[in-house]
Amino acid sequence: MRRRHLLGAGLGAAALAGPLSACGQVAPLSSAGRDTRGLDAALASETVALARALPKLHALIVARDEEPLIEQVFRGPSLDTAVNIKSASKSVLAAVAGAAIGARVLTSVDQPVAPFLSDRFPANPDPRLQRITVGDLLSMRAGLASTSGANYGAWVSSPDWVRHALAQPFESDPGGALIYSTGTSHLTSAVLTRASDRSTLALTRELLGRSMGIEIPTWPADPQGIYFGGNEMRLSPRSLLAFGELYRNDGMSDQTRVLPAGWVQTSWERRGSSRYTGDGQGYGWWMRRARGHDVFYAWGYGGQMVFVVPDLRMTVVMTSDPAPAETRDGHVQTLHALLADGFIPAAERGA
């Protein structure tokens, strides 16, 4: 491993000294004694040791060809306990929308959303509201100003989250620039609720949970009872692995088609770029290159990550302490470095 890269990402010298003492917090490596062919064992073990040294990292799963080769709890709850996945919820919600299209709850990504939301439009609405489509919401290209960042508190404190999001001024035409906004993602939840006449929770359980055999716990809703679209969902690390594998397997789960044929490829087409990282965004998924490989990832605040590396047949899940940090500590960048400088090379060298 090129340790200088990991050091540059913020792991520090303590990580290179080896695993931290357990102190009753670190579970033994679950993959011990398991067939770990498919990963270079020495490099994978070293990367796990580096991961263990990260104080915010809670859990790690690395799988190839659907087989978990590393399952590790460093601190925090078990791999079967649901945790707050923060904005990785946006990736899950995009999957629900894709499954809803497959179930004919929605017609297509080109379907206008105004028929479902017009009663929440502001007085004298901008005519561009009529042009926003399902696909614009999923790719965060609705054009409306962001309700995230400095605007997040005012939005979630408002009496009507949908109306508040729709009342934002246009900063771009629909289908134009990517404007990261949890409010835009929440509009997707509102559309799903109106189109199906069911809650987003019920729809997620029906279209994803039941088909994939995973538990979908309840999560918060807005003042009108619309489940939070794009934040605060709760899934266990093992459920996140199943979710990543669903996309790696082109929308199939245990020979059951959950997402329409072609949905994954469509979701992984770049439709915009982050102004902060330069990484691409499709329908609910981010994308970048690492060591010459395409990497698609779901990203939640604080380091709730699902990485899919299709050409290496690998899915990696990392969950972290979601508590707000006082400063930007580079934790998420370090998780990317663990993948790029550790697990990807281990997979390259493995069977």
Cα dihedral 173/174/180/183 (nearest 10): 120
In a domain, 163, yes or no: yes
H-type alpha helices, 87-175: 89-102, 114-117, 134-138, 152-156, 161-166
Indicate whether 51 and 119 sit together in one domain: no
In a domain, 261, yes or no: yes
Indicate whether 119 and 175 sit together in one domain: yes
**What tens digit of pLDDT does each residue of 58-88 get?**
999 999 999 999 999 999 999 999 999 999 9
> What is d(CA 52, CA 258) in angstroms, rounded to the nearest whole number?
34
Indicate whether 204 and 259 sit together in one domain: no
User: Domain holding 140: CATH number?
Assistant: 3.40.710.10
Angle at which helices 41-52 and 331-338 cross, to 10°: 170
In a domain, 218, yes or no: no
Q: What average pLDDT does the chain have?
A: 90
Indicate whether 250 and 161 sit together in one domain: no
**What tens digit of pLDDT does each residue of 80-128 get?**
999 999 999 999 999 999 999 999 999 999 999 999 999 999 999 999 9
- Tokens representing 14 are 């303590």
Cα dihedral 130/267/254/101 (nearest 10): 20
Mean pLDDT of 171-198: 98
In a domain, 221, yes or no: no
Specify which residues 112 forms β-bridges with.
133
For residue 14, what pLDDT band results from cuts at 50, 70 and 90?
very low
> What is d(CA 130, CA 132) in angstroms, rounded to the nearest whole number?
6
From 62, 19, 143, 141, select the one nearest 316 (Cα to Cα).
Answer: 62
Distances (CA, A) of 78 to 60, 74, 82, 312: 11, 9, 9, 27
Indicate whether 283 and 173 sit together in one domain: no
Which pLDDT value is given to residue 327?
A: 53
Indicate whether 95 and 172 sit together in one domain: yes
- Host domain of residue 290: 3-84+234-349
Indicate whether 317 and 267 sit together in one domain: yes
Mean pLDDT of 213-233: 97
Domain limit, last residue, from 153, 182, 212: 212
Indicate whether 25 and 73 sit together in one domain: yes
Which pLDDT value is given to residue 322?
A: 87
Q: How many domains does the chain have?
A: 2
Indicate whether 11 and 128 sit together in one domain: no
**What tens digit of pLDDT does each residue of 253-262 get?**
999 999 999 9
Please count the other Cβ atoms lying within 10 Å of the Cβ belonging to residue 12. Answer: 14
In a domain, 284, yes or no: yes
Q: Which residues lie closer than 8 Å to 123 by C-beta, 6 or more apart?
A: none
Indicate whether 62 and 131 sit together in one domain: no
